Structure 1
Amino acid sequence: MEQDILNNYKQAAEAAANEAEKYKKLANTYSLLRLGIFGLMIFAIYLTITRDTFTIMAVAFVVLLFGFAWLVSRQSGYESQRDYYLDLQKINENEIAGLTNGGNLYDNGQDYSNDKHFYTSDLDVFGNNSLFHLINRAATSAGNDKLAAWLNAPADKDTILLRQEAVEEISAKNDWKVNTQTKLLFANKEDTDQMKRLFIYLSMPLNLPGEKWLSIYIKIAPYLLFGVLIVSAFYPVFTLVATAIAFFNMFILVSKGSYILKAGAVADKIGAVLANYAVVFKAIENNEWQSKRCLELNGKLQKNKTSKNIEELSKFINKLGYSLIMIVGFVLNVFFLWALKQIINIENWKRDNHTNLEEAFDVIAEFEALISIAVPAINYPEWTFPLIADTEGYTLTAKNIAHPLIRSANRVANNYELEDAYHIDIITGSNMAGKSTFLRTVGINTVLALAGAPVCASHMQVSVITIVSYMRIKDSLKESTSTFKAELDRLQMLLAAVSKDSRVFFLIDEMLRGTNSVDKYLGSKAVIEQLISKRGVGMVATHDLQIARLEDKYPAYVRNFYFDIQVQNGEMLFDYKIKHGECKTFNASLLLKQIGINVEEEE
């Protein structure tokens, strides 16, 4: 199955590369034709001078202007197609990298890392080789923020079910998903503050003096000048009138130059970006959605005609750029007051549409987050969508649950069952037998489940719970914190969460490592008993067999599980399978022996 998925991505990448090469050649051809237009313009100037008539230049410039604009449009279209297929190739190659070596061109979420968060640091949710790095396909900063927020906290049941339905629909439309990712790839390298600046620009009016009468004059100016030029062909005296009108038009542009420069400097930077986003909005709007959440999101765009409006603004901004093209810009400004006309168009657009834009871009962010959590459903079809339980007690059951960050060839699956109950599970076992990995397996799959994503299991049912972990406890020179103090701080956070937050499920790996064995046992026992008194639910992994004796004291609340090893001819064999009961076999002395240290038993 995985090989079939890989082959599909490889074929798609190869096809995209071939299309990109085709459009590259076409774009180069039209680029050469544009040079020919400049040659014809120079020839027209030569004829005007030698024949001593302005009419030749006027007619030639109009004809060649339209010819040049057509060539620019065609070349631009081919370049856009070339760039699209190059990005499509990158998107497919990225999926290949993700399936083969864990690579990903998207952000790994390191900026969202927080050692003091309930679980994200312990469960490898953010950073290199993390859950975020595995699934993230968000190119925009808003999309990254949205996905990070979903992984940072569980959603309520209704929201999870809406996301699951949306993800199932998106995963069934992989062509749409890949196409949308391709159209958004440009944003993967953009400045994270770009959208903020865009929203500020759109909400601030230019306050152009005389805008009303200028709008009227701009409409009649080209007809006036063209009419006088035609008359001048029969009555040469009108050439002076045409020249006066041209100078008057340029005077207007120069007098409003500061406003044009002010608006143009910002607009020029966002024109191409807006055009790219317009294409993305159109891809969302034109798709036929069935899932409730996708329909809701699409409805927000349809109501405000988002793609059409943003495409219109982008065109105004791009047209403004024409005025910077040497001779072409001069002609456009003389005849049409081109730069001023586009500035007024942009200001009118801002007045009518700026209030709807932030909501529209939030729609893109949510679709990016949905696309990201759909990645496992597409690339790992053996994963499953979990059932969300409504039981009074805690429910967390799973069959063949495995760690999603371990390669499929190396991961070992386990079963676990906690159904409508309140239990603390003590997990004992040898070093490297799999205790910590199992805790992280349960935790990270729960994070996926409560974000609305598929999980790495053949079946899973889980209540809406809040994970609180106690696993990677580190000292901090910066904060002058010892390991033991860091452990106490984490324990305090855990106990407070169990007392105040609803439905906390804790994952504790080897409590109180920063103290002696007697205090470690007594302290761990006291903490677990306090958690029992608070009706806390979760797992505690430990090497201390005495902790397993708590099952004798609290048989209805404490359950024992273990991971063990088999020793054959002095070699340790791990099966990484969880079993009921307490561990009887430990391996520290064998591990020490392997590095040349013999441990003698005390008499």
Structure 2
Amino acid sequence: MEQDILNTYEQASKNAGDEAARYKKLANTYSLLRLGVFALMVFAIYLTITLESFVVLTAAFVVLLAAFAWLVARQGEYERQRNYYLNLQTVNRNETDSITSGANLYNNGDQYNNDKHFYTSDLDIFGPSSLYQLVNRAATSTGNYKLAMWLKSPTNKATVLQRQAAVREISTNGDWKMETQALLLFANGEEPDRLTNLFKFLHLPLGMSGEKGLSKYAAIAPWLLAAAIIVTLFYPVAKGIAVLIALVNLGVVFSKAAYIRKADVVADKIGKTLGNYAAAFSKIESQSWSAELNIGLAQKLKANQTSTNIKELSKLINKLNYHLNMIVGVILNAFLLWDIRQIIAIENWKRANCEYVEEAFDVIAEFEALISLSSLATNYPTWAYPNIVESDGYTLTATNIAHPLIRTNPVANDYELNNSFSIDIITGSNMAGKSTFLRTIGINTVLALAGATVYATAMRVSVIRVVTYMRIKDSLNESTSTFKAELDRLQMLLAAVENEDHVFFLIDEMLRGTNSVDKYLGSKAVIEQLISKKGVGMVATHDLQIARLEDTYPKYVRNYYFDIQVQEGEMLFDYKLKHGECKTFNASLLLKRIGINF
């Protein structure tokens, strides 16, 4: 099955590469034609000066400028198509890389890591080789943030079920998913504040003085100059009037140069960007959706004709950029007060549309998060959609559950906690699989409550809040010893059990930073306090005495273990969870292997 999925991506990548090559050839052809038209414009200006006749310039303006604009538009379209297919090729190759090696061209989410978060550091949610690196397909900064928030905290059952339905629908529309990723790939790695600056630009009026009067003059200026040129054809002595009008027009534009530069600072960077976003908005709007969440998100865009309006703004900004070509800019401003027209049009657009723009980009972010989760369902079709249940107690049952970040021969286990309250003590040898099993349960629960599929044949889980105590580190910057760091983490865990709803804790070897007697007594006291608070979770430990708590609390404590088989001095691990307590440990064997006998 995996090979079939890889073959699909490889064929799609090849097809996209072929299309990109075709459009590149077309774009190059039109680029040469555009250069030829520009040369003719320069020659027309030379003839106008030499012959002292505006007839040549008028004809050149009408014919050559129209031809130039058409060629620019066609070349731009071919370049957009080439870039789109190159991006489509890239995202398909990225899926192949993700499946075969775990590589991912998208952000790994390291900026969202926080050692003091309830679980993200201990469960490898963010950073290199993390869950976020496996899942993320968000190119925009807002999409990255949205996905991170979904993985950092659980939501309610209704929202999880809505996301599941949306993810299921997107995963069955593979072409739409990959095409949307290709349309948004331009944003991957862009400055995080790019959209923030765009929103500021759209909400901040330019405040150009005399805007109403300029708008009226810009409407009649081309007709005045055209009339003057026509009069000049019959009365050559009147050519000074035409020149004067052209100079007045240029002077008006120059008088507003400060406002034009102010708009240029932002506009020069976002024209093409907005065009790319417009295509993504259109992709969402035009798709026929059936999942409730997808329908609602698309409707937010359709209600405001988002793709059409964003495309209009993109065109206005790109038109403003015409003045970057000095000769074209002079001609356009002399005849049409071009820059003034575009600035006023942009300001009118902002007044009419700025209020809903941020909501529209949040729709993009949410779809990117859903696309990211759907990548798991697409690439790993044997993974299951978990059943989100409501129960008075805690429910977390799984069949053949394995760790999604273990790429080579992961071992699956079954686990059952069905509408009850209990603490599971897990004992076992070093390297037998205790810590990995805790992380397996934790990371799949995070996926389940984000709305994704999980690495299991089946899973049932109630809405719980995972809290971990695993990788306890000292901190030189904070003058914190390992033991002090452990106490801080325990305090956080106990406070969470006391104050948060449905906390499910995962504790891996408590109080490692103290002596064995205090370690046992302290661990026992913590677990008994958790029992008194009706805490629920798992505790992995090497200390067999902790397993004796089952004798004291037979209705609350359950014992499990991972064992080791020793055959001819060799240690064999099966990494399978079993009921009861461990009887075989391997520390002495490991020490003997490095030359320490006792």
Q: Which TM class, normalised by the smaller chain length?
A: over 0.9
- My pick for the range that moved more, 56-65 or 325-334, is 56-65
Residue type at the aligned position of 2:534: R
Q: How does 1:22-421 map to 2 (within 5 A)?
A: 22-48=22-48, 51-407=51-407, 409-421=408-420
Deviations 1:294-349 (A, max 9, x none): 11111111111111111111111100011221221111111110000000001111
Q: Classify 1:42/1:393 alpha carbon distance in 2 versus 1 (closer, same or farther; 3 Å).
A: closer
SS in structure 1 at match of 2:468:
strand
Deviation, structure 1 residue 196: 1.1
Deviation, structure 1 residue 18: 1.4
SS in structure 2 at match of 1:189:
coil
Deviations 1:362-389 (A, max 9, x none): 1111111111111110110010110111
Unpaired runs of at least 5, structure 1: none
SS in structure 2 at match of 1:233:
helix
State whether structure 2 residue 423 is matched by structure 1 residue 424: yes
User: Structure 1 residue runs of 4+, over 3 Å off?
Assistant: 45-52
Tell me if the contact between 2:180 and 2:280 (Cα under 8 Å) persists in the aligned partners. Answer: yes
Q: Classify 1:214/1:556 alpha carbon distance in 2 versus 1 (closer, same or farther; 3 Å).
A: same
State whether structure 2 residue 533 is matched by structure 1 residue 534: yes
SS in structure 2 at match of 1:163:
helix
Residue type at the aligned position of 2:581: E
SS in structure 2 at match of 1:114:
coil
Alignment partners' CA distance in 2, 1:339 and 1:348: 14
Alignment partners' CA distance in 2, 1:15 and 1:536: 55
Residue type at the aligned position of 1:154: P
Aligned to 2:440: 441
Aligned to 1:582: 581
Alignment partners' CA distance in 1, 2:487 and 2:79: 60
Alignment partners' CA distance in 1, 2:213 and 2:137: 49
Deviation, structure 1 residue 487: 0.8
Q: Classify 1:284/1:328 alpha carbon distance in 2 versus 1 (closer, same or farther; 3 Å).
A: same
SS in structure 1 at match of 2:456:
coil
Residue type at the aligned position of 2:427: T
Alignment partners' CA distance in 2, 1:344 and 1:201: 14
Alignment partners' CA distance in 1, 2:451 and 2:265: 43
Deviation, structure 1 residue 36: 1.4
Residue type at the aligned position of 2:108: N
Aligned to 2:504: 505
% identity of equivalent residues = 67
Tell me if the contact between 2:54 and 2:229 (Cα under 8 Å) persists in the aligned partners. Answer: no
Unpaired runs of at least 5, structure 2: none
Residue type at the aligned position of 2:536: V
Alignment partners' CA distance in 2, 1:585 and 1:455: 32
Residue type at the aligned position of 1:32: L
- My pick for the range that moved more, 228-237 or 133-142, is 228-237
SS in structure 1 at match of 2:104:
coil
Alignment partners' CA distance in 1, 2:474 and 2:327: 67
Residue type at the aligned position of 1:418: L
Alignment partners' CA distance in 2, 1:42 and 1:152: 60
Residue type at the aligned position of 1:203: H
Alignment partners' CA distance in 2, 1:539 and 1:47: 87
Residue type at the aligned position of 1:561: Y
Alignment partners' CA distance in 2, 1:46 and 1:450: 71
Deviations 1:212-255 (A, max 9, x none): 12112211221222232123212223322212211221121122
Tell me if the contact between 2:271 and 2:317 (Cα under 8 Å) persists in the aligned partners. Answer: yes
SS in structure 2 at match of 1:41:
helix
Q: How does 1:551-566 map to 2 (within 5 A)?
A: 551-566=550-565
Deviation, structure 1 residue 190: 1.3
Alignment partners' CA distance in 1, 2:433 and 2:57: 83
Residue type at the aligned position of 1:214: L
Alignment partners' CA distance in 2, 1:78 and 1:400: 50
Aligned to 1:488: 487
Alignment partners' CA distance in 1, 2:42 and 2:321: 23
Deviation, structure 1 residue 47: 4.1
Deviation, structure 1 residue 189: 2.2
Residue type at the aligned position of 1:479: E
Alignment partners' CA distance in 2, 1:52 and 1:207: 41
Aligned to 1:597: 596
Residue type at the aligned position of 2:288: E
Give the aligned CA root-mean-square deviation in angstroms.
1.2
Alignment partners' CA distance in 1, 2:405 and 2:154: 20
- My pick for the range that moved more, 361-370 or 48-57, is 48-57
Deviation, structure 1 residue 416: 0.2
Deviation, structure 1 residue 353: 0.9
Alignment partners' CA distance in 1, 2:507 and 2:204: 53
Aligned to 2:450: 451
Tell me if the contact between 2:211 and 2:344 (Cα under 8 Å) persists in the aligned partners. Answer: yes
SS in structure 2 at match of 1:560:
strand
Alignment partners' CA distance in 2, 1:265 and 1:558: 65
Alignment partners' CA distance in 2, 1:212 and 1:498: 64
Deviation, structure 1 residue 160: 0.4
Residue type at the aligned position of 2:448: A
Alignment partners' CA distance in 2, 1:48 and 1:112: 63
Residue type at the aligned position of 1:192: P
Q: Classify 1:14/1:278 alpha carbon distance in 2 versus 1 (closer, same or farther; 3 Å).
A: same
Residue type at the aligned position of 2:73: S
Deviation, structure 1 residue 28: 1.1
Deviations 1:40-83 (A, max 9, x none): 23443454455553212321232111111111111111111111
TM-score by length of 2: 0.98
Residue type at the aligned position of 1:400: N
Alignment partners' CA distance in 2, 1:412 and 1:471: 21
Alignment partners' CA distance in 2, 1:140 and 1:307: 17
Deviation, structure 1 residue 517: 1.1
Aligned length: 598
Deviation, structure 1 residue 410: 1.5
Aligned to 1:569: 568
